[in-house]
Structure 1
């Protein structure tokens, strides 16, 4: 956890205003969102991080539920004028008024009244599941929550609990940083950042809501321990014309089991000219005619796996969906392919150490289904598993990938930035990027 002093000026808003990455962040589409649940660790988190977005959603007719885990009763531990119980009562009323200022009758806060500063996943799982059940009843649901790397334990515990549960349901989920804007810097900006523009009405509603959080934006008294927590240097970060979120990656198994159950060939790998030609281009770009040991990550129904098996001694093909793997097994049996082992695993968490010593690793159309952190870990795993003369192949769609933190450009950019990889083949078309990398010996990095 990052520790910081609220009174410290931290990173100036002028530094963020000059940050080009903020201005270039893609927009998170709200059109059609009919239900949204916002999880806040403390009263005021919802306003600081997502107040303008709540206003936009409510104004567009969406049902909005704001769930606050604690009453923030320990915000002023050194106060000689207010007990934690008194602060809890005040902040309860402030929260009700703030949410009304943001959304009128379209939203009301739900109070879990858990202990401020001591949130635990075990006590959160039940309430989180209840409110995700509610939002999942919408046609186009949206889940918002504090950021899992925000530097405050409560923010992070709540985020981990919500993102795991939302991901397992395949729900669209985005996290809002709050304290990061204070202690962080443009050089530490998280990947997968998106923005929601705020018009004058949304910004005005956000300001009005913040005014209702009086215990935070004004001193409790002039005595020591009652100082203002959200001073002008902090509030300046939340006056922007956009709010920023970090997209969470949905659970791959849930999403792709659903996709492969809904359609026998969801990607048209057997009928699409794009898919058939892309496989031929990939095979043609391999620097060697044959490879002894091959790892095919994100194999889906096995069309590329079969082609790789013809150039390999053995192939381990991995996919998050056991539904897809059943289709891959049918394909392998039908075509008499016997040198392929199918493995059901969500990567990178399900990586197996026995996959070390690979001569070829292929990651085709699956890198952008990771979070930025997961993709970095998966690249680490791939590089470590490659033989010194081995190759890593990346092949991805070049157009935007809706609902996931990364797109093809992000995936390939991160690989090119690595000192332990060098590119040996590059092929770019209108629709896909294909690159082949080789490991760089340790002494040359």
Structure 2
């Protein structure tokens, strides 16, 4: 087995990032699984190696549970201020706090076997993992555990147990390296490049992981200023776990080439609204207030009979559009967003609010106005094309399409704002009658008949 000292400086994150193979790994797709079981050898392994995965499960409404095998009492064996029992209790509290940050409803089972003496508890550990996975679970369950080749004895034991359970139950297995990033380098022959898969983390999941790592205070901060109470995890080592993707070893075809997402799922937005009442600052940012004013001012007609707003969020723009429409249908994929929009628009009777995923079920009717504001990049290019086709079919001959989108790249969006507008403009049925472009956003107005305001009102 590899030997290393966690107190020494290891291979830097910059060295690993410089290897182009990290950016060309196959994808680990979670959406094929109904249930995920994460096993860690010590309290903090689950957060470092699979914290983003746990958060992604919560975000996507995938059932996830965590098993922590040892009590972690051996992290500071010579500490002059904390005995092993006290440290074990502290670390259990930390792991429960961390998992609650990642996935608030995920159950955590701590087996509390003595850290450093795991060989004596292999049968009991195997039974606990097998019970969590279930018999005959098949491909619907993903078991996640430390990588057997990580160079740490406890990680090897827990990883080997997980592999045995996966083989007997038929579930899928993904193993997370932790110390490999420290003692190995990209050209080390022990790095299993051919078996590595990457899980992209949304900004929300990465933020949750960062907060959860900090919750393991006994490991990332000194216990005291006394000798032998130093932080166990060096700051340069922790940089390996700030990536926007987590890397797993998947020796079987877990999910390298699943079809990509065509629409960000409803759970993504529900999680967003759980964390923030107004996630994008519609009510208090001048940027948003000004953009709304420009959007409403760009409408080429003073009044519309029946309008459709796709992705209405909490109803701030909806309120202003309602003043220009006899009737307005405002839809959003998020139940939480629609609930808040109802509160805002309780005295706006000409607005109908509806929970709807227009990528799967476009609302029926003929609309004089369709507003697609800050939502097009949540669709894949192919799904957006289908939505645009539905918009075209639903618009009256004199109807208006307004599109407005943020122009900067966002990691979890399925395309860019400029890409959205490029696909609209590529459809020869649409005629652009106005365009407002800034560094931050682009706002365009399209019609089917191509008439300008002057032409429509008889000035020209």
TM-score by length of 2: 0.52
Counterpart CA distance in 1 for 2:111 and 2:46 is: 14
Q: Is contact 1:176–1:244 with CA below 8 Å preserved after alignment?
A: yes
2:256 equivalent in structure 1: none
Counterpart CA distance in 2 for 1:226 and 1:110 is: 28
1:71 Cα deviation from its structure 2 partner: 1.4
Aligned-residue Cα RMSD (Å) equals 1.7
What's the secondary structure of 1:104's corresponding residue?
coil
Would you say 1:96 and 2:96 are equivalent positions?
yes
Q: Give the direction of change, closer, same or farther, for the CA distance of 1:108–1:15 in structure 2 (3 Å limit).
A: same
Q: Which has the larger radius of gyration?
A: 2
Aligned residues: 249
2:110 equivalent in structure 1: 111
Counterpart CA distance in 1 for 2:102 and 2:58 is: 8
Q: Is contact 1:151–1:180 with CA below 8 Å preserved after alignment?
A: yes
Q: Is contact 2:139–2:172 with CA below 8 Å preserved after alignment?
A: no
1:109 Cα deviation from its structure 2 partner: 1.1
Counterpart CA distance in 1 for 2:35 and 2:199 is: 17
Counterpart CA distance in 2 for 1:31 and 1:13 is: 29
1:167 Cα deviation from its structure 2 partner: 1.6
Q: Is contact 1:34–1:138 with CA below 8 Å preserved after alignment?
A: no
Cα deviation per residue 1:89-111 (whole Å; 9 max; x = unaligned)?
Answer: 10010011000000012x02101
1:116 Cα deviation from its structure 2 partner: 0.6
Cα deviation per residue 1:232-291 (whole Å; 9 max; x = unaligned)?
Answer: 1110000001000001348xxxxxxxxxxxxxxxxxxxxxxxxxxxxxxxxxxxxxxxxx
Cα deviation per residue 1:298-332 (whole Å; 9 max; x = unaligned)?
Answer: xxxxxxxxxxxxxxxxxxxxxxxxxxxxxxxxxxx
Counterpart CA distance in 2 for 1:83 and 1:14 is: 37
Would you say 1:218 and 2:213 are equivalent positions?
no
What pairs with 1:76-87 in structure 2 (closer than 5 Å)? Answer: 76-87=76-87
Residue among 239, 244, 251 paired with 1:248 = 251
1:138 Cα deviation from its structure 2 partner: 8.4
What's the secondary structure of 2:233's corresponding residue?
coil
What pairs with 1:1-16 in structure 2 (closer than 5 Å)? Answer: 1-16=1-16
Would you say 1:205 and 2:208 are equivalent positions?
yes
Q: Is contact 1:35–1:138 with CA below 8 Å preserved after alignment?
A: no
Would you say 1:153 and 2:153 are equivalent positions?
yes
Counterpart CA distance in 2 for 1:3 and 1:66 is: 28
1:139 Cα deviation from its structure 2 partner: 7.4
Unaligned runs of 5+ in 1: 251-445
2:127 equivalent in structure 1: 126
1:67 Cα deviation from its structure 2 partner: 0.2
Q: Is contact 2:182–2:237 with CA below 8 Å preserved after alignment?
A: yes
Task: Name the stretch that deviates more: 147-156 or 112-121.
Answer: 112-121
1:123 Cα deviation from its structure 2 partner: 3.2
Would you say 1:180 and 2:180 are equivalent positions?
yes
TM-score by length of 1: 0.54
Would you say 1:192 and 2:195 are equivalent positions?
yes
1:43 equivalent in structure 2: 43
Q: Is contact 2:137–2:171 with CA below 8 Å preserved after alignment?
A: no
Q: Is contact 1:33–1:57 with CA below 8 Å preserved after alignment?
A: no
What pairs with 1:262-411 in structure 2 (closer than 5 Å)? Answer: none
Q: Is contact 2:98–2:213 with CA below 8 Å preserved after alignment?
A: yes
1:57 Cα deviation from its structure 2 partner: 0.8
Counterpart CA distance in 2 for 1:248 and 1:127 is: 23
Residue among 222, 226, 233 paired with 2:236 = 233
Counterpart CA distance in 1 for 2:24 and 2:163 is: 25
Counterpart CA distance in 1 for 2:104 and 2:124 is: 30
1:169 Cα deviation from its structure 2 partner: 2.0
2:269 equivalent in structure 1: none
Would you say 1:69 and 2:72 are equivalent positions?
no
Counterpart CA distance in 2 for 1:78 and 1:130 is: 36
Counterpart CA distance in 1 for 2:153 and 2:116 is: 7
Counterpart CA distance in 2 for 1:144 and 1:248 is: 12
What's the secondary structure of 1:111's corresponding residue?
strand
Counterpart CA distance in 1 for 2:187 and 2:197 is: 16
